[in-house]
Amino acid sequence: MERWVFITIIIAIYLAVTLTIGLLAGRKQTDSVAGYVAADRSFGLLVMYFVTGASVFSAFAFLGGPGWAYSQGAASFYILTYGALGMAPFYWVGPRIAKLGRRHGFVTQAQLITGRFPSKGLSALIAVLSLIAFVPYVTIQMRGAGIVIEAVTDGHVPLWLGALVAYGIVIAYVLSAGAMAVGWTNTFQGIFMIVIAWSLGLYLPYRLYGGIGPMFEGIREARPELLVPPGLTAAGEPWSWGAYSTFILVSAVGLMMWPHLFMKAFTAKNDDTLRRTVILFPTFQLFLIPVLLIGFSGVLFAGTPPSADFILPFMILETDLPPLVVGLFCAGALSASMSTGDALLHASASVVVEDGVMQFTKLDERRQRSLMQALVLLTGATAYWFALDPHSSLVLLLASAYGIISQFAPPVIAALYWRRATTSGAVAGLVAGIAVAVFFWQNPALKPFDMHEGVIGLLVHIPVLVGVSLATPAQDGRHVAAYVD
């Protein structure tokens, strides 16, 4: 049998297993909106751990991480740093969010924010901003899946077909089973990602250089600039400390503000499950170390991939690994892509219906669910359309998505912890923060100290939120007491 045929069969088996798990998972769930969006608040520790880990780490980490290590060296260390920082506060914040969710029936982030700060406009604004941040993120996942499949099948399965099949499956189980399917497929995919990353990340340096130490000693001789933070830019120039540091800051603040991750707090069975998930998260995150080692193993390797993001499939194909291993790796990369893509599609539909549409018309539960399913299809199709365009500048958009998403942090924190915050303050802060972030994204030359535009946005957002809140009348004490203990 030809090598690529064998590999394709392994991928097909992997996809079939994923689809089966996804479809079977939905049978245990009720037909309600709480069922579709929040899995009836039923996830135990095992599922929560992998849902969180697998949805955080996407094709961007699995393909982009090694790509950064390969071409930008120590710049990639920033992705090791922000995860635990961003997650730790959720040890306390997570259970509070979950409690409010149970008390008021919240299933989305905007419902929590506008529960405390009632405003239809604010709710719709959050829905629109979430969608703007989501579409490029889904597109990246689809392209990632298509690229990997095209690379390992020697082009016999082109990008458009690989992405279509992988995401056809994702959409099938997200449509039929919602949050429950996302949970159980991510458990399966999360295990896959961890095993593949650790085994390849340790194997490649040994196979090629006789160990991790000898590999880095070699790089130190030939390319020492790669090993000293803040590393290099994509163009190979030295990166700035301002950018390195603020990337960590904005990613840590933004991490749990992604609606698809934030909403996971509403899916946990109980508070202990949530807290355990936070504690164990850094153990999942350690898998980024072997992921970066894979990228570093390409630095001194003869031959160059078509672009840095291809370094992982390139190394796999160039080192004559057995086809079984190549097939399994491909499944691991698909896992990374699909486990984030499904959560994104699912969350974007839930957010648009609950926070956008439902603010202006009333629909019964059955119609809401149908509308969400239609939106999953529509978002998927839009992202697929972008994914096929090789010239789309979506990578640039994605880098800025964190700038938008991080602006959700001040209103969330104010809603839960600051009695004196007002609706006007929350709206003014969010609008100011977004406006500043977008301005500096469009005018990067004006950024002070090369800071990430999201951080500059926050520097304006927070004083505006505080100032306008203090200048407007305080909220009714009983209303506030339901949110701030």
Partner 1 sequence: MSLRTARALTALYFTLSLLTTTWPGMVPFARVEPMILGLPFSMAWVGMWLAGSVIVLWLLDRVERRHRDPDGGEG
Contact positions vs partner 1 (CB under 8 A): 74, 77, 80-81, 83-85, 88, 91, 95-96, 99, 211-217, 220, 224, 227-230, 241-242, 244-245, 248-249, 252, 270-272, 275-276, 278-280, 282-283, 285-286, 289, 292, 485
Q: How many CB atoms lie within 10 A of CB 200?
A: 26
Site of tokens 């924190």: 413
Shortest distance, position 54 Cβ to partner 1, whole Å: 18
- Residue 43 sits at φ, ψ, to 5 deg, of -75, 130
- The nearest distance, CB 231 to partner 1, in angstroms, is 9
Report which of 66, 188, 169 is spatially closest to residue 376, judged by C-alpha positions: 169
Min dist CB 295 to partner 1, Å, is 12
Q: Look at residue 299 and give its three-state secondary structure.
A: coil
- Residue 267: which residues within 8 A CB-CB, separation 6 or more? 38, 39, 41, 42, 43, 48, 51, 179, 183
Residue with smaller CB distance to partner 1, 118 or 224: 224
Using an 8 Å Cβ cutoff, are 398 and 137 in contact? yes
* Whole-number Å distance between alpha carbons of 8 and 467: 59
Closest to partner 1 by CB, 40 or 450: 450
| Nearest-angstrom CA–CA distance, 194 and 215 | 22
Name which of 139 and 245 has its Cβ closer to partner 1. 245
Count of C-beta atoms within a 10 Å radius of residue 220: 12
Give the residue from 19, 17, 463, 48 showing the smallest Cα distance to 267.
48
In terms of CB distance, is 214 or 463 closer to partner 1? 214
User: What minimum distance in Å lies between the beta carbon of 256 and partner 1?
Assistant: 14
Cβ 268 to partner 1, closest distance in Å? 12
Strand ranges (E), 179-304 = none
To partner 1, the closest distance from the beta carbon of 257 in angstroms equals 17
Q: Which one, 49 or 167, has the nearer CB to partner 1?
A: 49
d(CA 394, CA 139) in angstroms, rounded, equals 8
Question: In this complex, which beta carbon is closest to partner 1, that of residue 214 or of residue 322?
Answer: 214
- CA gap 373, 352 in Å, rounded: 11
Q: Contact at 8 Å (CB) between 58 and 336?
A: yes
Q: Toward partner 1, which CB reaches closer, 3 or 276?
A: 276
Q: Which is nearer to partner 1, 158 or 214 (CB)?
A: 214
Rounded distance, CA 65 to CA 81, Å?
13
Question: Shortest Cβ distance from residue 104 to partner 1 (Å)?
Answer: 16
As beta bridge partners, residue 268 has 43
Nearer Cβ to partner 1 (250/345): 250
Structure tokens at 245: 């540091």
**Closest approach of Cβ 67 to partner 1, in Å?**
17
Strand, coil or helix: 476: coil
In the bound complex, what is the minimum distance in angstroms from residue 485's beta carbon to partner 1? 7
Please report how close the Cβ of residue 204 comes to partner 1 at its closest, in angstroms. 13
Amino acid at position 313, single letter: P
Which residue, 46 or 279, has its beta carbon nearer to partner 1?
Answer: 279
What does the alpha-carbon distance between residue 152 and residue 137 come to, in Å, rounded to a whole number?
23
